[in-house]
Amino acid sequence: MSLHTASPERVARSWLLEKLLGPEKKKEPARGVTPPRALAMSPREREAVLDGAYESLKNELIRAMKTEFHGLDQAEKRIAKRHGIDPLFLNWYVVNGQHWPSMPSRLKNALKTMQSARMWFGEVPSSWQRMSVPHMEEAPSRDAALKELGEWFLKNFVSKVERKFTNVVWAKSRDLLDVFQGRGKGSKAQASILLLRDFKNRLGEDRFQLKPAVRRMVELFD
């Protein structure tokens, strides 16, 4: 939901707000118990907290992806050298997206994510646009290098980004519990599941420049 377009009634019906607040908003806290801050907030203020959490997760995910491109470039060079092909061509081969060999669907999805990330994050050398498909006799080395690069991407780039993102989700879940249920209360594990579900739902409706690459990355997370 957008803070600028949602009505208070829509905010009140938010499934995530209902899950986080639970029955606490329907009863008075016991004497001597500090009520959660959310009870004193307006519906729009509560929604603003969730909007902020979503934007924070999205920005941290984008930041995590950006920090891993150097490692991807270095791996690309090593793999290309090992297979006796030009690293620039391997880069072009990923981004071009044509003439890919048959491979398991998860590996192909990894390469599509790499392709999307390079395109949308601008991590593509300008010189690759002048390249053309090499002769067919180079295909075996080319295909082997592509598959190895896809496997590296899954085991390294994706796993590192997912680990960083998971840490942020975990920390943000605690923050939300502090606001909606009170400091030290609630299950952080359950809140993280709810927050991740909310993130995926919002991501599907969000419109921002890097969405294609970010969406593909999230789909690769275990």
Cβ 24 vs Cβ 181: under 8 Å:
yes
Query: According to the model, what pLDDT value does residue 131 have?
Result: 61
Q: What is the pLDDT of residues 152-210, one digit of tens each?
A: 999 999 999 999 999 999 999 999 999 998 888 888 899 999 999 999 988 988 888 89
The Cα 140–Cα 133 span in angstroms is 13
Quick one: which of 184, 188, 186 has its CA closest to 172? Answer: 188
The closest of 84, 96, 105, 120 to 208, measured between CA atoms, is 120
Residue 122 DSSP SS3: coil
pLDDT tens digits, residue range 116-156?
999 898 877 666 666 666 555 556 788 899 999 999 999 99
Distances (CA, A) of 213 to 3, 65, 150, 173, 192: 25, 10, 16, 24, 23
- The mean of the pLDDT values for the chain is 84
Q: Which amino acid is present at 85?
A: I
For residue 187, the model assigns a pLDDT of 87
The string of pLDDT tens digits covering residues 95-105 is: 888 778 899 99
Neighbouring CB atoms inside 10 A of 188's CB total 15
